[in-house]
Structure 1
Amino acid sequence: MKRWAVCGVSNRAMSMFIGPMIELFPGYAEVVGLLDADSRRVAICKDRFPSLRDVPGYAPDEFDRMVDEVKPDVILVTGRDCTHAEYIVKALARDLDVVTEKPMATTAADCRRILDAEQKSRGHVVVTFNYRYAPIHRKIKEIILEGRVGRVTSVDLNWYIDTYHGSSYFQRWNRMREFSGGLSVHKSSHHFDLVQWWIDQRPVEVFAFGALHYYGPYSEHNPERRDGRFCGTCDVRDRCAYYTRWHTRSLQGAVRDDHLGAIQGVPIDQAYTGYRADMCIFDSEIRIEDTYTATVRYDQGALLSYSINFSLPYEGYRLAINGTKGRIETMEYHAPSRVPFPTPVQTIDYFPLFGSKETLHVVQREGGHGGGDPVLQEDLFMGVDPRRPYPILSGSRDGAYAVATGEAVWRSAQEHRPIAIADLLGL
């Protein structure tokens, strides 16, 4: 059994890692320490999981004390994105293994620090890119490995985030680049990791455009230009299309937060100390982009055409992978309960370069992220499935390239020039 200490008691930490350790993998993992900047978060975690009542809590500057006292085998890093690098580097300096939520860090420079620290350590870093584990995504990997596509030449990936999910990023700390790296890092790093894993190529150069169209003070949807509002108490929310899309007049609670407050039933103004997760999406401090298009060149010649939009009528993606022997196409509708029309079951269309179309159906599985979360959890807590014929668990270099690609996107959009990944990572 391995002993796990948690740095960042977020709802993600509780739902994705702490809960499964206690409820599904008690013979494999034990939580022995909880570190967070907010003691309220630690208290809520212990309320949710009474078996953790006697587990000690620690302040952010007590990492070394925590390690000395509880002697963990693994450090779980699940706090705000900008805290990841600090705890990963400290853990590696103590020769401890690290499991971190994506993104591994918020800047390529911090990723380089992590790579250097890991080289000197007996510990290793795992980045929990759970999108890899979805059955549909594993099937795409297998089709490519079978050689049915041939050498991959180009990828088209268009990602759509609906008004519910998209606006939530602008209600929370994610809207500040210094905390999240911007959404091309916090969110798109997921997608850049998927592509590099599918095609087994590393990104070399990025050129991109980005803009803030929907959120911030100049949005055409802003009912009144005024800072400091919160959805739960806003006096103009009935004139806010983002609020009224998901609420009726009789449901006057705050917009549902997909982190701590809503899931736990804790009032949104009591889930954190000095912070609310329902900040106004039209505040003037919002300067990150909500729309991107990008072209990425890879080291074996493949090209990625990528776009993402954080305010659309439905959520999902369209994907096409082209190769010297064929083409793969698929479309996913995510969160069907929020899509205002019937959605088909996701399939994969395979087109040989010289032949007829074949439609492939994939077994659906329960669990978050398209059924990927439970399989990832098994790999983390029970060990990697030895029957799987290809690597899937992400390491630090995967995490670094995903972050660097995301940073290159927003830098290119701001500086109007191509950005070399090697320059960002110092490789």
Structure 2
Amino acid sequence: MKVGIVGLGFRMEYLARVFTALVPGFSIVGHVDPSPAGLPGLVKQGIDAGRSFGTIEAMAAAAPLDMLMVGSPNHLHLEHIRTGLELGLKVFSEKPVVTSEDETLELLRLIARHGGPDRVMVGLVLRYAPLYVDLKKAIAAGAIGTICSIEASEHLAPYHGAFFMRDWRRYERYSGNFILEKCCHDLDLYQGAVGARPIRVASFGGRKSFVPENEVRHNLDVYHRKPSGWMGTDKVFDSDADIIDYQTAIVEYQGGAAMTFHTNINVPDEYRHFCVIGAKGMAEGDFVRNYFRLTDARTGERLEEKSYTGTELSAHYGADEQMATDIAAHVRTGAPLPVSVEDALEAGITAIKIDEARKLRQVIDLTETWKRFDAARAGELPAMAG
């Protein structure tokens, strides 16, 4: 399996290690990146990153590629995916796929013109997590019943929050916005659980932790533990970031189910929790604390309780290995995947509208948004001028 990488950052370096370990014949033909932060890590691991190329076109011309892997900063994804599609390549993109509603519609049009959604795969790795697989099984078995409400969160430890304040992701013009960049995983999971799109969203948030008055002059290593790459800075509390560090969102789905979602990037005892409550039961789990509980609403009986053990290789609770295996099978044989690029774009739109609601301090209705989305997906919405 021969791949080319555009945007060889830390995430792509890690994924290259996972694919190399698990996919027979996996090899990197080359990479396109003027400053490949992940290259030293591959060299250290003895993994050949191939030749350095100035363009995707030059890399694709050098040798046949089975897949183009896009790990560039978010604002470049659309351009790089477009190039891959126009070259006739299968494309794997890290999340979030694109950064705005206009880019979402443009990518849907591109996908419609270039063979459909199977041409693009996405790195929404939590869809592969054993915990989420068990949640979906419980839903499918009817143990939860009609889903009424969800309480969910993604909370990051200070070292990880500081990384966002020091990395290129601190600028919305590159990342899109914080909840899109970091929490599109979670929004996708719960849309997948409910099986419906959001119809209304509201949100509140801001920045109160990573601000100058909270700067500390001891234990500074905590805030620099995770390295930053392109556009990195050593500043944490007084960086020029325009992203926020906490946010709450309220989501109403088509059909009436509702969710509250909370994220904060300065949580010393971090967790990534959900509680899905239905007419027949409740499913509760945590991706960090590694447990799953299923409880019957009528009797209070614990129907299932289990814990999970991560692996030395996986950075996402055992999910990265399964994703690499499934992506390789999809490229080689067309085997189905648990998440599609359209799922990813729907989660992205949700995040974009949540942050729009925060900025406008309004409830946002997504009815017209989904009409435009579906028209673009069908190839019926013309490209915007300019």
1:96 aligns with 2:89: yes
1:86 aligns with 2:79: yes
Structure 2 CA distance for partners of 1:173 and 1:148, relative to 1, 3 Å: same
Report what 2:30 is aligned to.
33
Q: 1:73 aligns with which of 66, 69, 92?
A: 66
How far does the alpha carbon of each residue in 1:270-295 deviate from its partner, in whole angstroms, 9 at most, with x for none?
xx6xx43x531223522221111111
Q: CA RMSD in A?
A: 2.6
Mapped to 1, the partners of 2:41 and 2:88 lie a distance apart of 27
> What TM-score, normalized to structure 1?
0.79
For the residue of structure 2 that corresponds to 1:96, the secondary structure is coil
Contact 1:215 1:286 in 2 (8 A): no
1:349-364 mapped onto 2 (5 Å cutoff) = 349-358=293-302, 359-364=304-309
Mapped to 2, the partners of 1:106 and 1:361 lie a distance apart of 37
Report what 2:14 is aligned to.
15
Contact 1:135 1:365 in 2 (8 A): no
For the residue of structure 2 that corresponds to 1:368, the secondary structure is coil
Q: 1:319 aligns with which of 267, 274, 289?
A: 274
Deviation at 1:385, TM superposition (A): 12
Mapped to 1, the partners of 2:295 and 2:46 lie a distance apart of 53
Deviation at 1:346, TM superposition (A): 3.6
Contact 1:212 1:287 in 2 (8 A): no
For the residue of structure 2 that corresponds to 1:312, the secondary structure is coil
Contact 2:69 2:91 in 1 (8 A): yes
1:104-143 mapped onto 2 (5 Å cutoff) = 104-122=97-115, 124-143=119-138
Matched residue type, 2:224: V
Report what 1:370 is aligned to.
317
How far does the alpha carbon of each residue in 1:210-260 deviate from its partner, in whole angstroms, 9 at most, with x for none?
11111244xx3135xxxxxxxxxxxxx43xx6x26x3xxxxxxx8222566
Matched residue type, 1:255: H
Deviation at 1:71, TM superposition (A): 2.8
For the residue of structure 2 that corresponds to 1:315, the secondary structure is coil
Report what 2:43 is aligned to.
47
Mapped to 1, the partners of 2:38 and 2:139 lie a distance apart of 44
Report what 1:229 is aligned to.
none
Report what 1:228 is aligned to.
none
Structure 2 CA distance for partners of 1:381 and 1:48, relative to 1, 3 Å: farther
Mapped to 2, the partners of 1:258 and 1:138 lie a distance apart of 31
How far does the alpha carbon of each residue in 1:341-380 deviate from its partner, in whole angstroms, 9 at most, with x for none?
xxxx643332322112304114534222111111111111
Mapped to 1, the partners of 2:38 and 2:317 lie a distance apart of 29
Mapped to 2, the partners of 1:19 and 1:424 lie a distance apart of 39
For the residue of structure 1 that corresponds to 2:285, the secondary structure is strand
Contact 1:216 1:287 in 2 (8 A): no
Deviation at 1:407, TM superposition (A): 1.0
Deviation at 1:14, TM superposition (A): 1.2
Q: 1:24 aligns with which of 22, 25, 45?
A: 22
Matched residue type, 2:257: A
Mapped to 1, the partners of 2:32 and 2:346 lie a distance apart of 28
Report what 2:352 is aligned to.
407
Contact 2:165 2:239 in 1 (8 A): no
Report what 2:338 is aligned to.
393
**Structure 1 unaligned spans of 5+:** 224-236, 247-253, 261-271, 335-344
Report what 2:224 is aligned to.
255
Matched residue type, 1:204: I
Mapped to 2, the partners of 1:107 and 1:385 lie a distance apart of 31
Structure 2 CA distance for partners of 1:46 and 1:308, relative to 1, 3 Å: closer
Q: Taking every aligned residue pair, what percent have the same amino acid on both sides?
A: 22
Deviation at 1:176, TM superposition (A): 0.4
Contact 1:176 1:287 in 2 (8 A): yes
Mapped to 2, the partners of 1:298 and 1:385 lie a distance apart of 36
Structure 2 CA distance for partners of 1:42 and 1:374, relative to 1, 3 Å: closer
Mapped to 2, the partners of 1:306 and 1:214 lie a distance apart of 19
Mapped to 2, the partners of 1:214 and 1:98 lie a distance apart of 38
Contact 1:10 1:259 in 2 (8 A): no
**Structure 2 unaligned spans of 5+:** 374-386
Contact 1:349 1:357 in 2 (8 A): no
Contact 1:112 1:400 in 2 (8 A): no
Deviation at 1:142, TM superposition (A): 0.7
Contact 2:131 2:285 in 1 (8 A): no
- Range 113-122 or range 88-97, more displaced: 88-97
1:288 aligns with 2:235: no
Matched residue type, 1:292: Q
How far does the alpha carbon of each residue in 1:94-113 deviate from its partner, in whole angstroms, 9 at most, with x for none?
22211111111122221221
For the residue of structure 2 that corresponds to 1:99, the secondary structure is strand
Mapped to 2, the partners of 1:395 and 1:37 lie a distance apart of 30
Q: 1:152 aligns with which of 143, 147, 155?
A: 147
Contact 2:160 2:226 in 1 (8 A): no
Structure 2 CA distance for partners of 1:422 and 1:52, relative to 1, 3 Å: farther
